[in-house]
Amino acid sequence: MKRRRVLQLGAVLGGGLLRAGELGRPLGPYGERSPFEKAVRWRRESKTPEAGSSFTPLADSYGILTPSALHYERHHGGVPAIDPARHRLILQGMVERPLILTVGEIKRLPSVSRIYVVECGGNSGGEWGAKTAPDVQRSHGLVSCSEWTGVPLKLLFEEVGVRAGASWIIAEGADAGRVQRSIPIAKAMDDMLLAYGQNGEALRPEQGYPLRLIVPGWEGATHIKWLQRIVVADQPYQSRDETSKYTDLMPDGKARQFTFVMEAKSVVTFPSGGQTLPGPGLYELTGLAWSGRGRIERVEVTSDGGRSWQAAQLQEPRLRLAWVRFRLPWRWDGKETVIASRSIDETGYVQPSREALTAVRGTNSGFHYNGIKLWKVGADGRVTNVEA
């Protein structure tokens, strides 16, 4: 509050600062945001925008929830227009009693709601490269956080009766790509949800309306959208999206497969690439931290290029597998510096530096990058990507 302006009360009352009271617009059935708000998902120009990604504007986010309208997208065959009255979910394979369910039948079952991050396995994949994205939306925007509502999958499996020897499920979407992913059945029996609700209403079409899987803490591609079938099996299917994609090419040329868990990660969203600080002074530095292994216990921030690290305030409640918003007062002296954050989760895992990560993983991979993200603040207040 450096640029405080003391008031002459007469000037205020007589000077037209207070708004003239013209009649506003009436009550409405389903609201829209203000036309002055411009944040949108970003995507690369493409001749095939049905197969690609769009990125959540993290620098414009507040709190720990992503508006459904701005949840990141990753589609392999576009967004199907599904009539929920005609949609069915089939459970088959190594089960005693195969089952077809309508959406209405699913909604009648016991349900829970949980706030969870969903992160694409390829989020911040560009960071493996030499020249990375200029802002946090494009570098880290394939992650979002919502309240998801649905049926614990284990209830359905108890109903259909899993046969001895079953160890995997194969989930299939109703999109043009018929995306299929194999998931160990132990995860399904643990905390997976058959979700139909997001942020207080039905799933959005881009998020799998009317049904999707939620696989808490695991890479986004396993959270099959527009879910139409689950097959119980004794082995994975080796589908396209778990062989040609979503595997991690290691320095020795071999690929890691089924690396489901998204490791602890964090990123500073203010100040971040593309922003400009108006001048030296006091700011609140903020960002987001999350881990597929559980709860975030600590976030540390550097504002001197890594020489010293300071614990940030973590916003409560800190929910398992949800975002944690972190904040730290920061006085900028007007000199060039580098800022970054690193998160530590309940297992003690510490988000690694780029160097530590690439020493193990090499730079062949496109997936599961969770290195510390550096932003440079220039003497002119411009914030840029150190690596860009």
Site for a second copy in 249-288 (CB under 8 A): 283-284, 286
C-alpha–C-alpha distance, residues 199 and 63, integer Å? 14
Phi and psi at 163, nearest 5°, equal -80, 155
For residue 334, the number of C-alpha atoms closer than 13 Å in the C-beta half-sphere is: 3
The tokens describing 282, both together, are 């006091």
Identify residues 9-38 at the interface with a second copy (CB under 8 A).
9, 12, 17-19, 21-37
Q: Is residue 80 at the binding interface for a second copy, with CB under 8 A as the rule?
A: yes
Tokens of 208: 């799998």
Taking the C-alpha atoms of residue 181 and residue 162, their distance in angstroms, rounded to an integer, is 19
Tell me the three state secondary structure of residue 157.
helix
Report which secondary-structure segment, H or E, holds 297.
strand 296-302
- Options 79-87, 135-143, 292-300, 373-381: segment touching a second copy (CB under 8 A): 79-87
Judged by CB under 8 A, which stretch of 143-151, 214-222, 288-296, 300-308 contacts a second copy? 143-151
Nearer to a second copy, 56 or 365 (CB): 56
Within a 10 A sphere around the Cβ of 283, how many other Cβ atoms? 16
Q: Which is nearer to a second copy, 18 or 360 (CB)?
A: 18
> CB-wise, 223 or 361, nearer to a second copy?
223
Task: Say if strands 337-345 and 375-377 run parallel, antiparallel, or are unpaired.
Answer: antiparallel
Residue closer to a second copy by CB (options 147, 250) is 147
Residues 97-126 that bind a second copy (CB under 8 A): 97-101, 105, 108-113
Q: Which residues, listed in sequence order, are joined to residue 30 by a DSSP beta bridge? A: none
- Which of 177, 280, 305, 381 is the binder for a second copy (CB under 8 A)? 177
Q: Per-residue x/- mask for a second copy, residues 187 to 206, rule CB under 8 A?
A: ---------xxxxxxx-xxx
The continuous run of DSSP H or E covering 187 comes out as helix 185-190
Residues in CB range of 100: below 8 A, 6 or more apart: 88, 89, 90, 91
Residue 139 or 199 having the CB closest to a second copy: 199
Q: In this complex, which beta carbon is closest to a second copy, that of residue 42 or of residue 349?
A: 42
Q: Given candidates 69, 186, 261, 311, which one binds a second copy under the rule CB under 8 A? A: 69
Find the binding residues for a second copy in span 311-370 (CB under 8 A): 315, 317, 319, 325, 327, 329
Would you say 319 or 386 has its CB closer to a second copy? Answer: 319
Q: Tell which positions 82-101 bind a second copy, by CB under 8 A.
A: 82-85, 87-88, 90, 92, 97-101
Is position 7 an interface residue for a second copy (rule: CB under 8 A)? yes
User: What amino acid occupies position 219?
Assistant: E
First vs last C-alpha separation in the chain: 33
In single-letter form, the type of residue at position 377 comes to V
Q: 251 or 317: whose CB is closer to a second copy?
A: 317
381 touching a second copy, by CB under 8 A: no
Strand-pairing partners, residue 329, are 284
| 343 three-state secondary structure | strand
Residue with the two structure tokens 């139909």: 196
Which segment (65-73, 241-249, 260-268, 366-374) binds a second copy by CB under 8 A? 65-73
